[in-house]
Amino acid sequence: MNINDLKKEELLNRHIEKVYLESADLVKRIQRVKSDHGRDIGIRLKNPRDLVAGDILFMDDKNIIVIDVLKDDLIVISPRSIEEMGNIAHQLGNRHLPAQFEGDEMMVQYDYLVEELLQELRIPFKRENRKVKQAFRHIGHSHGA
């Protein structure tokens, strides 16, 4: 369950405690973490799924413990045309770099080689510390037959 699925009245009298994770840790099924109140918590996911910001780890009548995500060092790409989008998507796909999309923006984790490529191709981008909603997931792939 996610805190965003709760009604406002369900949150009124509950204290919210957060566990901050790096986006890479959202894919771990078993881990030990510490809440922002210093509480040690063990996470063991029964189902093979990734955690997302807002996931509820614990809830009773008085408290809720939720997942929050630390900011990542990102390159936020803002292509001006479908041609630029296709070009950079192809280039990054060849490098097997995972990307996420929000609106008209494409986000990848910071890499100086990607930064140089974008400068070379003159595709608008900015480097930014930003929270992502989910983990960047690398997809295994082989070009061989």
Question: What is the model's pLDDT at position 121?
Answer: 92
Phi/psi of residue 66, nearest 5 degrees: -125, 160
CATH number of 3-69: 2.60.260.20
Question: What is the model's pLDDT at position 141?
Answer: 43
Does 97 have pLDDT greater than 90?
no
CATH number among 3.40.50.300, 2.30.30.30, 3.30.70.790, 3.30.1360.40, domain 72-130: 3.30.70.790
How is the chain split into domains, by residue range? 3-69, 72-130
* Cα four-point dihedral sign 18, 23, 27, 33: negative
Span 19-25, mean pLDDT? Answer: 92
Q: Quickly state the pLDDT bin for 48 (edges 50, 70, 90).
A: confident
Return d(Cα 118, Cα 124) in angstroms, integer.
7
Q: Which of 73, 82, 21, 98 is nearest to 52 (CA)?
A: 21
96: left (phi over 0), alpha (psi -120 to 50) or beta: left
Average pLDDT, the chain: 89
